[in-house]
Structure 1
Amino acid sequence: MTKKRANLRDVAAAAGVSVATASRVMNTPEAVSEATRQKVQAAMDSLRFMPSAAARAINSGRSRFVGALVPTLDNAIFARYLSRLESQLDKHRLSLVVSTTDGIPGIEAEKARTLVDIGAEALIVSGVTHGAALFELIDRGGIPAIATSCYDPDFALPTIGYDNAAAALTALSHLSGLGHSRISVIHGPTDTNDRTGTRVEALRRRPGGAQLEFHLEPLSIEGGCNGVQKVLQARPDTTAILCMSDVQATGALYELQRRGIPVPGGVSLMGIDDLPGSAHLCPGLTTVHLPVARMGLAAADAIAGWVETRKVPEPSLLKSDLVVRASTARTGAIDGQRAAGKARTDLGK
């Protein structure tokens, strides 16, 4: 028959100490003598004691976990961010529980309530577009909460992230500096993703003299492929394609190569994100590096400080950087290759 699982009282009795002392050995071992720690640890080993998070939460009033709400786990950028967030929270002796929202405010509010119901001590959300129900939950419970993947010092929650408008304009400036004026932009949904919306709006407001044409496609490799098909139909004279994500840029590269259009010889191609695989495409993808790993570390430190000391963190702007690789070139070289290709075609007629 299965034996009853040992609890902290069993450990304390076996070690000949009080339950409070056994609890201190687990939670604040530095407050207990070495001899007592060894006795309690020996009792734990002999009883095969496994600490219960639920019991610990009841005894201490602390669950020691943080809830993170992200739109999806399909995008590698969120995986990298969450990995650093979790590892840094662990250094603060906090755990991470993740819920996905599909970028829908109603789902986000429901998932947030579930996290709070099971004991989340704090919440971390993505972006600045959220429903009233989420803010009501946070205010009613006095729950520490921060927003990531963006920077807005005037937002209702402390923000830790990057300037999405600046990232888009950095990409546009690079292409314009190479002489490109006929630029097609492929982007994901803007109604459910305020980060993409901010980037697109920045380009619409400040095109910098470039003739920009926008194509909405799903945030996926397939979306990038479909975007290139639309670009070539709508504007065959496009000299550069700017994707608002590296995922779409990867799909765009595949489609251009499938059609025999050289990159950057036929079209320059650029993304935003700097995903781990972007440097290893052929050619390597020029992009804007978003500091998602640093954001995970900063968010963990900020929320841990808030939970432990009740000190509200300050908004934090993390700098994004241009990463130039081989997928972009000066427009003169592109026009020259196009002219040479046309000449070879004419000679063959």
Structure 2
Amino acid sequence: MSRPETQKRANLRDVARHAQVSVATVSRVLNKSQLVTKDTRDRVNRAIETLNFVPSAAARTLNSGNSRTIGALVPTLDHSIFARYLDALESRLSQHGYALIVAVTGGDPEEEERKAFGLLDLGVEGLLVSGRAHTAGFDTLIDRFRVPTLITSYYDPEARYPTIGYDNATIAANAFEFLRDLGHRSFAIVHGPLDVNDRFVARIDAIRDLAHDSEVTFRSVSMDVAGGANAVKELAAQSRLPTAILCLSDVQALGAMFELTRLGLVVPDDISVMGFDNLEWSAVSEPSMTSIKLPAAEMGAKASDAIVGWLQSGQRASPLALEADIVIRDSTRPLSKG
């Protein structure tokens, strides 16, 4: 049995040949130019219908100079906070008539630069990227392609690009002060690698500034459940656990609670644990997890409005600070006196 032939998709030249006109004339018809006679327009339209011709996105971009696409660079898709952000971003961009293309960088600045070039080479009209720190090559790309570029997950009105996100230093300071107000003076701060994440650097620096009258240990581990568990193992090996553990991600905090339970300790009776991100399962963990609620969905919507507004008006977007809240649950408690 022979296979049916795969018919090649008609292109602009096919339409022109069928209608016996030039490619430029077909383009004028597609762009509704008044320079084409009714007879020629009807002939071209009949050719388009006969050949089932659909203009490609690339062709529309060449004709109009607009791709109606926005690129977003994110470090990972493993954490649901980025899923919430991208979901809101894509939904709002769709309302504006734009499509979203996502590239994952793995938190590697060099990879971010390569992925940025790939998106820009595809013709995205705007770019959204997580964090303030980037390679010099990234900045050169933006200067070369001259596309509106926004920073998310970070607020800094003095940054090279407009920022839409949260003040990481203030949020971390508020979390630390919350635990201090509960009476804690012995802390472990669990975080991810600092060499590729400027958000963590800002949070750690803020906590260091407040730690002058407290005993604070910092643990850099992987950004996953195993990392949180390993941090507790390291602390236990020193035979001196703190009274409170502040993890800069919920997944690390979950790993910390798992390991504390394995060691026979009770959260929060023996030790308080606090997370960051307020992931959807933090409310139903055992115990439920005190965490920082980051406005990921709001950030996606605001970033979409800002980048589209910039494209439509030609005016640079303004920095925007978003608020984060402490969601108090069962994994933390006041430290008993005496």
TM-score, normalised with respect to structure 2:
0.86
Q: Which residue of 2 aligns with 1:268?
A: 272
Match of 1:151 among 131, 151, 155: 155
- The match for 1:249 among 249, 253, 261 is 253
1:106 to 96, 110, 115: 110
Q: Say which is worse superposed, 221-230 or 90-99, in terms of deviation.
A: 90-99
Cα distance change on mapping 1:19 and 1:176 into 2, 3 Å: same
- Report the residue type matching 1:304 in the other structure: V
Once residues 208 and 305 of structure 1 are traced to their aligned partners in structure 2, the CA distance between those partners, rounded to angstroms, is: 45
Task: Output the CA distance in 1 between the equivalents of 2:6 and 2:92.
Answer: 38
Q: Which residue of 2 aligns with 1:192?
A: 196
Which position in structure 2 is the counterpart of 1:53?
57
State the distance in 1 between where 2:99 and 2:194 align.
32
The 3-state SS of whatever aligns with 1:331 is: coil
2:102 is the alignment partner of 1:119: no
Question: 1:340 maps to what in 2?
Answer: none
Query: Residue 282 of structure 1 corresponds to which residue in structure 2?
Result: 286
Answering whether residue 304 of structure 2 is matched by residue 300 of structure 1, we say yes
SS at match of 2:211: coil
Shift of 1:141: 2.1
Q: Distance in 2 between matches of 1:235 and 1:180?
A: 18
Residue of structure 2 equivalent to 1:227: 231
Quote the Cα distance in structure 2 between the aligned partners of 1:324 and 1:272: 12
Distance 1:53 1:100 in 2: 23
Q: Where does structure 1 differ by over 6 angstroms across 4 or more consecutive aligned residues? A: 42-47
Residue pair 2:105, 2:115 contacting (<8 A) in 1 also: yes
1:85-104 correspondence to structure 2 within 5 Å: 85-104=89-108
> What is the total number of aligned residue pairs between the two structures?
317
For structure 1, which runs of at least 5 residues remain unmatched after alignment? 25-39, 336-349
What is the letter of the counterpart of residue 128 of structure 2? Answer: I
Unaligned runs of 5+ in 2: 20-24, 33-44
Deviation string 1:202-259 (CA, Å, 9 cap, x unpaired) is 1111126321111111111100000111122235241111101111001111111222
Provide the residue aligned with 1:72 in structure 2.
76
Change (3 A) 1:43 1:332: farther
Which residue in 1 is equivalent to 2:323? 319
Distance 1:321 1:10, change over 3 A: same
Q: 1:35: which partner in 2?
A: none
1:218 aligns with 2:227: no
Q: Is contact 1:170-1:288 (8 Å) kept?
A: no
Tell me the SS of whatever aligns to 2:102: strand
Give the 3 Å change call, closer, same or farther, for CA 219–237 of structure 1 in structure 2: closer
What displacement does 1:194 show?
0.5
SS in 1 for 2:336: helix
| Corresponding residue of 2:141 | 137
Q: Distance in 2 between matches of 1:18 and 1:132?
A: 44
**Aligned partners of 1:167 and 1:272 also within 8 Å:** no
Mapped contact 1:69–1:125 kept (Cα < 8 A): yes
Q: Match for residue 205 of structure 2?
A: 201
1:34 corresponds in structure 2 to none
**Letter of the 1:184 counterpart:** A
Are 1:83 and 2:68 counterparts? no
- Aligned-residue sequence identity (percent) comes to 45
Q: One-letter code of the match for 1:292? A: A
- Mapped contact 1:168–1:203 kept (Cα < 8 A): yes
1:106 shift after superposition: 1.8
The alignment partner of 1:140 has SS state of helix
Q: CA deviation at 1:19?
A: 5.9
Cα distance in 2 between the residues matched to 1:146 and 1:323: 28
CA shift at 1:60, angstroms?
1.4
How far off its partner does 1:148 sit?
A: 0.6
Q: Which amino acid aligns with 2:256?
A: A
1:36-61 per-residue CA deviation (whole Å, 9 max, x = no partner) reads xxxx8x99888655552112212211
Conserved in 2, the CA contact under 8 Å of 1:183 and 1:212? Answer: yes
